[in-house]
Amino acid sequence: MQTDSIIIDKRPVIVALDFDDLSLARALVNSLSPEKCRIKVGKEMFTLFGPDWVRELVDKGFEVFLDLKFHDIPNTVAKAVKAASALGVWMVNVHASGGPDMIYAAKDAALISNTPPLLTAVTILTSMDERQFGAVYDTGGIDEKVLSLAKLAESSGADGVVCSAREAGSLRRHVDKHFCLVTPGIRPKGSAVNDQKRIMTPSEAIDAGVNYLVVGRPITQASLPASVLSEINASIVQLT
Ligand SMILES: O=C(O)c1cc(=O)[nH]c(=O)n1[C@@H]1O[C@H](COP(=O)(O)O)[C@@H](O)[C@H]1O
């Protein structure tokens, strides 16, 4: 749909590693190639295995998205982003609802690193539907809030947002073509939805103008994870 004007990465899949067992995670990583995907380390693995695990992945040649979704006062977030940047990661994220000063501080901290990571801001979690959203926010709906948070993130210096691919088509009409859209809640046709609410298939997401697809359990829980990754890559290759 918008794919002629935006820059789509040749490796759009980011594999979300959510494991409590380091040897299982290592076995999976050893079956993957940095030429075929990037890796996301989130709260579970970082809490259990810390910066050493992130360094191990970086040393293996993977571009790592350190997904710790910082959300705190600007000074604290800036220091956390500085520490994350020193690990050599490719992307870090914050919650957009932390506000403009927090996002500016995060971006400034990333920029002083020797290898500045991309900074993305989480809009509305893909596990939320309108009912969950209404329990948190008094007015509006998900689409409207994702758009306003994305505009806030863009004007505050973020490189992109984390959102659902369902919002990508609308966001693409309002943000710069270089502003990247990172979308979890990706489910190949027929795979279990789990706790995700706003989902799309890989090809639908790319067609909607997404830059990066975050895919966890459909790959990590498969009996042949590398084959599922190859199938996803093949399903989108003609679109990229
Ligand atoms: O920031 C994220 O990565 C994220 C944001 C969001 O809105 N939804 C979301 O699912 N995620 C993460 O993306 C991954 C999705 O994993 P699966 O549901 O297993 O594909 C998890 O690691 C989540 O923590």
CA of 184 to the centre of ligand 1 (A): 5
Question: Is 69 one of the annotated active-site residues of the chain?
Answer: yes
**Residue 74 annotated as part of some ligand binding site:** yes
ipTM computed for the complex: 0.99
Residue with the nearest Cα to atom 4 of ligand 1?
Answer: 184
In 3-state terms, what secondary structure has residue 17? Answer: strand
In the CATH scheme, what is the code of domain 13-234?
Answer: 3.20.20.70
pLDDT attached to residue 199 = 98
In 3-state terms, what secondary structure has residue 191? Answer: coil
Q: pLDDT tens across 2-56, in order? A: 445 666 788 999 999 999 999 999 999 999 999 999 999 999 999 999 999 999 9
**Residue 75 annotated as part of some ligand binding site:** yes
CB 87 within 8 A of CB 54: yes
Q: Could you give the CA distance from residue 42 to residue 17 in angstroms, rounded to a whole number? A: 7
CA of 121 to the centre of ligand 1 (A): 13
Q: Which of 36, 60, 69, 82 is catalytic?
A: 69
DSSP bridge partners of 65:
40, 91
Q: Could you give the CA distance from residue 16 to residue 47 in angstroms, rounded to a whole number? A: 15
Question: pLDDT averaged over the chain?
Answer: 96
pLDDT attached to residue 238 = 63
Q: Which atom of ligand 1 is nearest to the CA of 42?
A: 22
pTM of the predicted structure, to 2 decimals: 0.96
Residue with the nearest Cα to atom 12 of ligand 1?
Answer: 184
Q: pLDDT tens across 75-107, in order? A: 999 999 999 999 999 999 999 999 999 999 999
CA of 5 to the centre of ligand 1 (A): 27
pLDDT attached to residue 70 = 98
Q: pLDDT tens across 131-181, in order? A: 999 999 999 999 999 999 999 999 999 999 999 999 999 999 999 999 999
Q: Which two tokens stand for residue 29?
A: 């990583």
Ligand 1, CB cutoff 6 Å, lining residues: 16, 18, 42, 67, 69, 93, 122, 125-127, 162, 184-185, 194, 196, 214-217
pLDDT attached to residue 10 = 86
Mean pLDDT (whole number) for 212-227: 98
**So where are the chain's domains?**
13-234
Question: Among candidates 5, 72, 1, 9, which has minimal Cα distance to 212?
Answer: 9
pLDDT attached to residue 2 = 46
Q: Which atom of ligand 1 is nearest to the CA of 164?
A: 7
CA of 238 to the centre of ligand 1 (A): 25
